[in-house]
Amino acid sequence: MSFHLPQLFLSQISPSYKDGPLEKVAVEYLNLRDMRQLDLPMGGPQYRMLERFLKNVQITTKTAKRTRIIRALCPNAGLFEFTTRDGVTQTVSVRLWRNSNLSNL
């Protein structure tokens, strides 16, 4: 996933944009050592800080080439359920697993 993320400098005169994986930008922004530390407790200070930083940021996925706007963070997003166009309810993790062709192995 690639995206353009506004990041204000100390002078706050002009924004800059950062490309790269969302996880990497989040780790850098929070000054963490690795992605495992992104397992933040909902409502905690770092969680709220990251949510404010990412709110209304446009991201573009490489696979679907679609631009989306981050509205909020979702803890345990893999367990989030949604209904497909076919009327089937499934979780994000199941959808990603099926779309990655791992289900064919």
Angle among Cα 69, 88, 76 to the nearest 5 degrees reads 50
pTM above 0.75, yes or no: no
The residues with which 5 forms a beta bridge, in sequence order, are 18
Q: In the prediction, which pLDDT does 6 show? A: 42
Q: In the prediction, which pLDDT does 28 show? A: 92
Q: In the prediction, which pLDDT does 75 show? A: 82
Q: In the prediction, which pLDDT does 3 show? A: 41
pLDDT in tens, the chain (105 residues): 444 444 433 333 334 566 778 889 899 999 999 988 988 988 999 999 999 999 998 888 777 788 888 999 988 888 999 999 999 999 988 988 887 766 555
Q: Under 8 Å CB-to-CB from 17, ≥6 apart: which residues? A: 4, 5, 6, 7
